[in-house]
Amino acid sequence: MATENRIHFWRRNAKVPGSVQPVYGAQHPPLDPRLRRTYHKDTTPKLNNLKSKKASSFHEFARSTNDAWDIDDEEDEDFLGTQIPSSLPSGLHSASSQNQQQQNQGGDTETGVSHRLEAPNLQAQNLQDVQEEDTECEHVNGKVVKSSSDAHLNTSSVRSTLQKQNTLPARPIIPLVARISDQNASGAPPMTVREKSRLDKFKQLLGSPNTDLEELRKHSWSGIPREVRPITWRLLSGYLPANKERRELVLKRKREEYFGFIEQYYHSRTDEHYKDTYRQIHIDIPRTNPLIPLFQQPAVQEVFERILFIWAIRHPASGYVQGINDLVTPFFVVFLSEFVTEDVENFEVAALPLDTQRNIEADSFWCMSKLLDGIQDNYTFAQPGIQNKVKALEELVSRIDEDIHNHFKRYEVEYLQFAFRWMNNLLMRELPLRCTIRLWDTYQAEAEGFSHFHLYVCAAFLIEWRKEILSMVDFQGLLMLLQNLPTIHWGNEEVGLLLAEAYRLKYMFADAPSHYKR
């Protein structure tokens, strides 16, 4: 009887669960109806003949339906096969499929018509391009390899891959973590009227004979314009004096002092006493922002080696600790941007004059040293500064959001397991570099930004992911989330909101010990 009821149920319900539905996510965004493919009348994709016969029972439905993962590459070829004449050379298949995709993506009639009119010319041009490419190829070990390429790839497999990529719906361009330039996630224009007035205010402050550092900090808290960020960071970090007339003299003296350190210390990197320190630095530097081409350049890596090694030699109480290498990058990028108008992440540093390179290196060393002077207990033996900050974060979160705190206790997640890196690297591993630079604008403006205010930023950052944290109901899922938080799309707006929440927490708890602890 129960079996008959189930059968009748499936007969009554034409819409059955388990139907193949689009999968939405970061790698598969919702399909735009304007991007859907069109086919010739005699060409329909054969997806297991789902529409050929309506399922009258669950058993028939199950027999006629395969799992979504069973759709293989052969069906992708069906999408292409009928639209490419067999008389065309194989090298033109990808070009033809690309032209067909351009026709199908036409959002309005004029665009679609213009694509169709240009298609014959494009095909002729692509055919010529393919023939020219074939003449530029070499035969290496029986494989066709382009003379300009270092990789030994099979040409036909590459073209086949391109064919399959061309059949996929267009995906939105994701701003990678490697993007250093300032931007808002909402896509706001780079310079508004308000930002221009702020820039004028900064220039007025910096151009005065004696810069009012308190006023400069007040304006820097909500972000520093890119054009004046290098000089502002030098002033707020204490590297440059407020007196305008003395700045050039101080810069010259401090840079020469650093160049003297190189002559005095850098040759000792091969000594037995310092060999392990230099080896660890040499290993860590290629891992610093591996997605950004700028930091993979040999000239840049040599600069980082000198900065970190000399700092370690001059600070024997802590020496070099993994994580300090990350703290050089914001200063280096900001001071490099003073001489670069294009995208910094792809700029070839070796193209700069040697004196400019040396000055950027010296300024980065001194500003990083000023930063580390305030948080050096983070990197001394047993790193007591980090231990204390993680404990303070746990106490703070238990007062701010008891649900999150109890959720961690329920699944035995220790704050040290995820917050150690937040304190050790100042959230640099959790945020894109562009966001770190914006964050440090405020840290420089705060009296104890890196040592004290950072605690409240970490608390606000944790609460930001409250919904996602409470949805995880196992230890592994929680740690995976906390160590891979999805901030790749973050920009100035998100960092501004994070800092505002951190300021609110500081205002409530910093001067209220009875509220801070149980």
**Residue 265: which CATH number?**
1.10.8
Asked if 460 contacts 501 with a C-beta cutoff of 8 angstroms, the reply is yes
CATH of residue 505's domain is 1.10.472.80
Q: Please indicate, yes or no, whether residues 345 and 395 belong to a single structural domain of this protein.
A: no
Q: Please indicate, yes or no, whether residues 363 and 411 belong to a single structural domain of this protein.
A: no
Residue 264: inside a domain: yes
pLDDT tens-place string over residues 451-480: 999 999 999 999 999 999 999 999 999 999
Question: φ and ψ at 140, to 5 degrees?
Answer: -120, 115
Strands 137-140, 143-146: pairing is antiparallel
- Residue reference for tokens 């196992």: 474
pLDDT of 79: 42
| Residues paired with 140 in a beta bridge | 143
The pLDDT > 90 percentage for the chain reads 55
pLDDT tens-place string over residues 172-205: 333 344 456 555 444 445 568 888 899 999 999 9
Q: Please indicate, yes or no, whether residues 332 and 214 belong to a single structural domain of this protein.
A: yes
Last residue of one domain, picked from the residues 335, 350, 373: 373
pLDDT (mean) for 286-299: 92
pLDDT of 32: 46
Last residue of one domain, picked from the residues 373, 397, 423: 373
Q: Classify the C-alpha dihedral 395-396-402-405 as positive or negative.
A: negative
Q: Classify the C-alpha dihedral 416-417-423-424 as positive or negative.
A: positive
Last residue of one domain, picked from the residues 352, 373, 394: 373
157-161, 424-428, 498-502: which has the minimum mean pLDDT?
Answer: 157-161
Residue 105: inside a domain: no
Residue 68: inside a domain: no
Q: Please indicate, yes or no, whether residues 327 and 451 belong to a single structural domain of this protein.
A: no
Residue 297: inside a domain: yes
Instruction: Please state, in angstroms and rounded to a whole number, the distance separating the CA atoms of residues 298 and 16.
Output: 60
Q: Please indicate, yes or no, whether residues 350 and 397 belong to a single structural domain of this protein.
A: no
Q: Please indicate, yes or no, whether residues 230 and 341 belong to a single structural domain of this protein.
A: yes
Structural domain that includes position 396? 384-510
Q: Please indicate, yes or no, whether residues 228 and 351 belong to a single structural domain of this protein.
A: yes
Asked if 391 contacts 500 with a C-beta cutoff of 8 angstroms, the reply is no
Q: Which residues contact 467 (CB under 8 A, 6 or more apart)?
A: none
Instruction: Please state, in angstroms and rounded to a whole number, the distance separating the CA atoms of residues 59 and 7.
Output: 8
Residue 113: inside a domain: no
Instruction: Please state, in angstroms and rounded to a whole number, the distance separating the CA atoms of residues 173 and 459.
Output: 31
pTM of the model: 0.66
pLDDT (mean) for 203-216: 95
Q: Please indicate, yes or no, whether residues 344 and 433 belong to a single structural domain of this protein.
A: no
Six-digit token string for 257: 């002092």
Residue 59: inside a domain: no
Query: Count of domains in the chain?
Result: 2
Residue 242: inside a domain: yes
Residue 299: inside a domain: yes
Q: Please indicate, yes or no, whether residues 249 and 393 belong to a single structural domain of this protein.
A: no
For residue 261, pLDDT over 50 is answered with yes
Asked if 112 contacts 103 with a C-beta cutoff of 8 angstroms, the reply is yes
Q: Please indicate, yes or no, whether residues 433 and 481 belong to a single structural domain of this protein.
A: yes
Q: Please indicate, yes or no, whether residues 388 and 462 belong to a single structural domain of this protein.
A: yes
pLDDT tens-place string over residues 34-86: 444 444 444 444 444 444 444 445 555 455 545 444 444 444 444 444 444 44
pLDDT (mean) for 338-351: 90
As a whole number, the mean pLDDT across the chain is 76
Asked if 344 contacts 212 with a C-beta cutoff of 8 angstroms, the reply is no
Q: Please indicate, yes or no, whether residues 367 and 423 belong to a single structural domain of this protein.
A: no
